[in-house]
Structure 1
Amino acid sequence: MNNIDITKILPHRFPFLLVDKVLDFKEGEWLKAIKNVTYNDYFFVGHFPERPIMPGVLIIEAMAQSAGIFLFLSYGKDKSDKEYIAYLAGVNNVKFRKPVIPGDQIVLEVKLKQTVRNIYKFDAICKVDDNIVADGEITIALGGKE
């Protein structure tokens, strides 16, 4: 699934679309995606000009967007044909282990661990060159697109 396919699922657009490609997916279980980090990303202008580092909150957002794609691919629409949108509802125990810099490719892995009604909890891991750069739990709530 490429960037154009992703824009058919997520409401995010440049410069806030933080998932470039879906690499693999298992319905109801997990998703693996990538974010290509380039020096041209808007946030490097101020974070930090002399030593560019991707902000942690944007890494979390990339995790959340990956989870949103997973939910759409796994569950789509409910039986009433009402459309839903995924909202970031919680972040727990996220650790940033190494900085993400221009030229890195983040592999985003989200695995569904718990579902209660319209709330979905995921274990998320971000890797660069097989090294964990961030990990934690992401909670997504599905709400109506009205």
Structure 2
Amino acid sequence: MAKYSIPPKVFLEMGGWRQPLMMVDRIDDFKYGHSGYIRVVKHVTYNEPYMSGHFPEDPIMSGVLISEIFGQASEYFSFLSDICEIYHQQYDETLVSLRDIYNKINDENMLDIIRQRRSQVRGKLASQNLKFKEAAYPGDTIEVTSKLAFSDSNGFMHYSVSAHVGKKLISQGTIINFREVT
């Protein structure tokens, strides 16, 4: 488990997903800024509802669901970056890591920022260009890394993503999320 994990209730408030489509089990690392990234974990279990229908004789995690992990991880990255920026603007304090966020997570000001930003932003997986090299099986732990490559003025965020099971690279490429801020 990560040293600085975000409490489950707050973690759920940060994302727009609920079971059975919540594809991020844990955020392991985050860095805010120009060379920022997020690293998340998804544990693949036998009892997940989509496993029984995908190659029943030889169940594997479907590529489209790995794409969903990429999309959700990337949106978490953008969301955490947003709250770091907002916190800095409001309180003139710089947060750059998961540890910094963890240290503020019980602060009512931070919780208000999280709730308010969650109500303002909607992110959607818009496009993908991924290469799948290997499969993920029940019992595997998928570690996904997402880095913002660039964003455009129309709200499209382009992320460089990769997924590993242990040291084995199973997928990599580009995910494009569309983000609306109201």
TM-score (norm 1): 0.90
Matched, 1:101 2:108: no
Q: Larger Rg: 1 or 2?
A: 2
- Please say if residues 2 and 20 of structure 1, whose CA atoms lie closer than 8 Å, have aligned partners that are also in contact: no
* 1:120 aligned residue: 157
The 1-side partners of 2:6 and 2:177 are apart by 22
* 1:26 aligned residue: 31
User: Deviation per CA, 1:6-65, whole angstroms, max 9, x where unpaired?
Assistant: 311111111100000000000132100000001111111111211001110000000000
For residues 34 and 98 of structure 1, do their structure 2 counterparts lie closer, same or farther at Cα, with a shift above 3 Å needed? same
* 2:17 aligned residue: 12
The 2-side partners of 1:3 and 1:21 are apart by 10
The offset of 1:2, in angstroms, is 4.6
- Matched residue SS, 1:108: strand
Q: Percent identity?
A: 31
When the two structures are aligned, how many residues end up with a matched partner? 143
- Please say if residues 3 and 20 of structure 1, whose CA atoms lie closer than 8 Å, have aligned partners that are also in contact: no
Matches within 5 A, 1:25-104: 25-28=30-33, 29-76=36-83, 83-92=120-129, 94-104=130-140
- Please say if residues 3 and 21 of structure 1, whose CA atoms lie closer than 8 Å, have aligned partners that are also in contact: no
For residues 95 and 3 of structure 1, do their structure 2 counterparts lie closer, same or farther at Cα, with a shift above 3 Å needed? farther
Large movers: runs of 4+ above 6 Å: none
The 1-side partners of 2:54 and 2:126 are apart by 25
TM-score (norm 2): 0.73
- Matched residue SS, 1:69: helix
Question: Tell me, which stretches of 5 or more residues in structure 1 are unaligned?
Answer: none
Question: Structure 1 residues 104-113 or 83-92, which shifts more?
Answer: 83-92
